[in-house]
Structure 1
Amino acid sequence: MRVVLGPMEGVLDHLMRELLTDINDYDLCVTEFVRVIDRLLPEHVFHRICPEIAHNSQTANGTPVHIQLLGQRPEWMAENAVRAAELGAKGIDLNFGCPAKLVNKSGGGALLLKDPELIHQIVKTVREAVPSSIPVTAKIRLGWDDPNQCFEIVNAVENAKASGLTIHARTKVGGYKADAIAWEYITKVKQTATIPLTANGEVWNHQDAMDCLATTGCDSLMICRGALNTPNLGNVVKYQHNALPWEDVVSLLIRYSNYEIKGDKGLYYPNRVKQWMNFLRKQYPQAADLFRVIRVHNKAAPIVELLKQHHKQLKSAA
């Protein structure tokens, strides 16, 4: 089984990738998207989103990282894909699935699901622009409002000679609703498509992963939100490990604080750690109590101190 740590805008940044790949055997990571509009972006943008390109496009433990681009103009997507490749990117992923209103309003992400021909042109132009040794993949949803739209979209990607395709098994309108998941459409796609497929959506534990693989016939999974709920979900899925004990999760939160509060990143740390705590509450009841304690603070220092105190209490009680 191949397990990919997927992109989550504003959440799965390079710090979180380093943390999660260190405790999981992920086969690949995909960055948050680089927004492409109508120009060639400066090099520092790529280094900010994907610092790993300076280190052979790998996390500290050697997990490969591919850069994701989001945009709607084929020529500029290609120009920026070439720049990413020249800087050291080992793979380019194209985002056609982001459901964010701001992104869709500006013509990007899931809005392109309404225009399979434009998707085809973007993938084709990027594929022809970058060296053949660099994979060019895409990530889509099943469609805008009808899952049957997926067949034309997949054909558009496949005919453009993409190296692989990740399918989030919901439409844009389906958002992240659990009851909107439709893995069976990936099954139908797989019956005729020859492009390698990765299934995505509603994988929260080992059983979900097994059910998804059995339903879709895929041997590759991408996990996103679940990786924040259960920090070792990659290994839970791959090896049927138990979820990390709460004490170990708190240790990770403290370790994350050491990453985040360096330099001016400390300004963002309170929001980031609260955001992560909100995900953790879905798996760990203890996180809800800790969240209530830290949510009143908007500076890094008191939050880190509370985490350390909580960890000390857990060790004393053990």
Structure 2
Amino acid sequence: MQIVLAPMQGVVDHLMRDMLSTIGGFDLCVTEFVRVVNTKLPDKVFYRLCPELKDGGYTSNKTKVKVQLLGQDPEYLAINALTAIRLGSHGVDLNFGCPAKTVNKSKGGAVLLQYPEQLYRIVKAVREAVPAEHEVTAKIRLGFEDTHLAIENAQAIESAGASSLVVHARTKKDGYKPPAYWDWIAKIRQHTTLPIIANGEIWSAQDAENCIVQSDTPHIMLGRGALALPNLANTIRYGEQAYNWEQVKSLLVKYSGYEIYSEKGLYYPNRIKQWFSYLKLQYPEASEMFVELRRMRDARDIVNLLKH
């Protein structure tokens, strides 16, 4: 089994990656996407989104980190993929799954699922540019409006030379509404030899077991579920008991405390509030505390609240 931490834009930053990988259970983290248009990006863009590159591409507990790229131009994605590899990324991931309207309007993310030939050109260009010892992977949804191109898209990505494929088991139109159609991943697997990682609606160890059976793959990617239950990966891999609220509060104190030493203004208090939107799904105490916390604008106040 491989368990991967998902690249959740605007949520799973380097601090969250460090915290969740330190708790344990993950084999790999994927960054928030680096947006590629028609330019070669400077190194500082990669370092900003993936500070782990300065430490060999590892989190503090030596979990590998892979840079994700999002764009539509094969040539410039290939050029920037080389930069990511040069700086220390453990392979490169290509985002063909982001459902955000602003991303799709600029012809990035899930909108590309309507064009298998473009997926092929992008993956092929990046694969040919990146040295063979480094993985080139991709993340897709089942489709844009529907699933009629799901198998063709996966085959295009395989033919272009991808190392593996993450499939989020919903279409762009589905968004994040349950359920996830894990059985569709099994259908894709019947038509490709690519290693496939299943993603979507895994909130518990039981969900993971059901997903693995229905998708016919032992590999999973965790996103929102890992934010709602911080030790979810360990409950799946090792049968660990789910964290109680006191354990979660200790994590929140650690995460909030970064703001005290930061020059980023209100950045981390806002991230804490984002995190609470997921924690509320697992912990009733989070809902109660959020009523008070959402008005706070200083990390010190947040830390004091969490300590009580």
Task: Answer whether TM exceeds 0.5 for this pair.
Answer: yes
**Quick check: 2:145–2:171 contact (8 Å CA) kept in 1?**
yes
State the match for 1:147 in structure 2. Answer: 147
**Runs of 4+ with >4 A deviation:** none
Supply the AA of the counterpart residue of 1:129. Answer: A
| Matched-pair contact (CA < 8 Å) for 1:199–1:218 | yes
In the alignment, which residue of structure 1 is the partner of 2:6? 6
Pairs within 5 Å for 1:9-20: 9-20=9-20
Distance 1:260 1:160, change over 3 A: farther
1:91 Cα deviation (Å)? 0.9
Instruction: Tell me which protein shows more helix as a share of its residues.
Output: 1
**Structure-1 separation of matches of 2:300 and 2:258:** 13
Task: Please name the residue that 1:182 is paired with.
Answer: 181
Q: What is the one-letter code of the residue matched to 2:45?
A: V
Give the C-alpha shift of residue 215 in structure 1: 0.8
Aligned length: 308
Note the 1:89-108 alignment, pairs <5 A: 89-108=89-108
1:206 aligned partner, one-letter code: A
CA contact (8 A) 2:169 2:184 kept: yes
Determine whether 1:51 maps to 2:51.
Answer: yes
| Cα RMSD (Å) | 1.0
CA offsets 1:233-272 (integer angstroms, 9 cap, x no match) = 1111112222101101000000101234422234212211
Q: In structure 2, give the amino acid aligned to 1:230.
A: L
Q: Deviations over 1:105-152 (max 9, x none)?
A: 111000100111111100000000011111000000000111231011
Distance across 2 between alignment mates of 1:176 and 1:13: 20
Aligned to 1:314: none
Secondary structure, aligned partner of 2:263? helix
With the length of structure 1 as denominator, give the TM-score of the two structures.
0.95
Give the match for residue 259 of structure 1: 258
| C-alpha separation in 2, matches of 1:58 and 1:303 | 29
Give the aligned residue type for 1:93.
D
Counterparts of 2:224 and 2:51 in 1: how far apart (Å)? 22
Work out whether 1:36 is the aligned partner of 2:36: yes
8 Å CA contact 1:266–1:300 kept in 2: the answer is no
1:136 corresponds in structure 2 to 136
Residue 245 of structure 1: aligned partner: 244
Q: Is residue 257–residue 303 contact of structure 2 (8 Å, CA) maintained in 1? A: no
Q: Distance in 2 between matches of 1:240 and 1:174?
A: 31
SS of match in other structure, 2:143: coil
